[in-house]
Amino acid sequence: MREVDVAQVAEAVARLCQEANMDLGEDAFAALERALEQEESPVGKDIIGQLIENARLARKEWVPMCQDTGVAVVLVDVGQDVHVVGGSLEDAINAGVRKGYKEGYLRKSVVGDPFERKNTGDNAPAVIHYRVVPGDKLKITVLPKGAGSENMSALKMLTPADGLEGVMDFVVQVVDEAGSNPCPPIIVGVGVGGTMEQAALLAKRALARPVGQPHPRPEIAGIEEKLLERINRLGIGPQGLGGRVTALAVHMEVYPTHIACLPVAVNLQCHAARHKEAVL
């Protein structure tokens, strides 16, 4: 058993919270540069230019690219040969979030109870998804998720008869109805299959993929491409003010499902496709 101390976990999470918010990945930058070439609307071009300038400025001055520094979604791949020592893994992740959000001057946006709505003051707790995987490493991905795009996400339990067409129509409909609210150009995370909660998690995990990297299965990659084309025909454009580029990419993940089920979840992500990972 390889040992990983919780103190290392907390340090890594704290660092990733800051990096994710300040330092837009090269994948997202490249996608914005491509979008700048493709966009025909003058207002849309101007907006994409501002987004690129904004991301550069955030990285240079080490300030958040967006004021909504999100709820910290943490994806943890726990190798089955890792022994976490020194305390609770979950406590360490939350301690990392507290430290990262404080030291990075990130906005604390988490309320402790959905009805009382009192801010916890430190952005904890994180939303954590664990997965046990082979190996002796711990992989941690921090994906700060802002509300503007999260609120426009949706899930539907389709029936097998709805098929691929039904799935595609639903995805396009969700993006169309979201319009300007999720801060387009967006990345569209789609989860198909499994059960209700599994589909939602697949959609979220799809957002952690490098922007524009196609699915390894060619038939799924083909669906992603068709969806992107349909979405970019909607005309919503950058910030919803009209244009060719409504989405930078569509990422779909699939999973086996029940004979009677066809769950589909759509998780929207603004252009600030923030995700940073560390392997301990």
**Residue 262 and residue 157: Cα distance in Å, rounded?**
6
The pattern of x and - marking residues 187 through 226 that bind another protein according to CB under 8 A reads: ----------------------------------------
Rounded to the nearest 10°, the torsion over CA 103, 108, 110, 111 is 120
Q: Which residues pair with 77 in a beta bridge?
A: 131, 139
Q: Which of 5, 23, 46, 277 binds another protein (CB under 8 A)?
A: 46
Among the candidate windows 105-113, 161-169, 203-211, 251-259, which touches another protein by CB under 8 A? 105-113
Q: How far is CA 34 from CA 38, 45, 57, 74, 248, in A?
A: 6, 11, 19, 29, 9
* Min CB(23)–another protein separation in Å: 12
- The answer to the question of residue 43 lying near another protein (CB under 8 A) is yes
# residues near another protein by CB under 8 A: 49
**Residue 24 and residue 46: Cα distance in Å, rounded?**
19
The pattern of x and - marking residues 242 through 271 that bind another protein according to CB under 8 A reads: xxx-------------------------xx
The pattern of x and - marking residues 137 through 176 that bind another protein according to CB under 8 A reads: ----------xx--x-------------------------
Measured between its terminal Cα atoms, the distance across the chain in Å is 14
**Residue 166 and residue 144: Cα distance in Å, rounded?**
30
Neighbour-count burial for 256-277, b at 16+ CB within 10 Å, e otherwise = ebeeebbbbbbbbbbbbbbbbb
- The answer to the question of residue 34 lying near another protein (CB under 8 A) is no
**Residue 221 and residue 229: Cα distance in Å, rounded?**
12
* Min CB(28)–another protein separation in Å: 11
Cβ-based nearer residue to another protein, 155 or 234: 234
**Residue 100 and residue 73: Cα distance in Å, rounded?**
13
Q: Which of 13, 28, 35, 51 binds another protein (CB under 8 A)?
A: 51
- The answer to the question of residue 124 lying near another protein (CB under 8 A) is no
Cβ-based nearer residue to another protein, 23 or 91: 23
Q: Which of 239, 250, 266, 276 binds another protein (CB under 8 A)?
A: 239
**Residue 138 and residue 134: Cα distance in Å, rounded?**
10
CA 173 to chain centre: 20
Amino acid residing at 202: L
**Closest residue by Cα to residue 69 from 126, 30, 31:** 126
- The answer to the question of residue 33 lying near another protein (CB under 8 A) is no
Cβ-based nearer residue to another protein, 153 or 239: 239
* Min CB(224)–another protein separation in Å: 19
- The answer to the question of residue 111 lying near another protein (CB under 8 A) is no
Torsional sign, CA 201, 203, 208, 213: positive
Residues at the contact surface with another protein, assessed by CB under 8 A: 40-43, 45-47, 49-51, 53-54, 57-58, 61, 63-69, 105-109, 119, 147-148, 151, 179-181, 183, 233-237, 239-244, 270-272
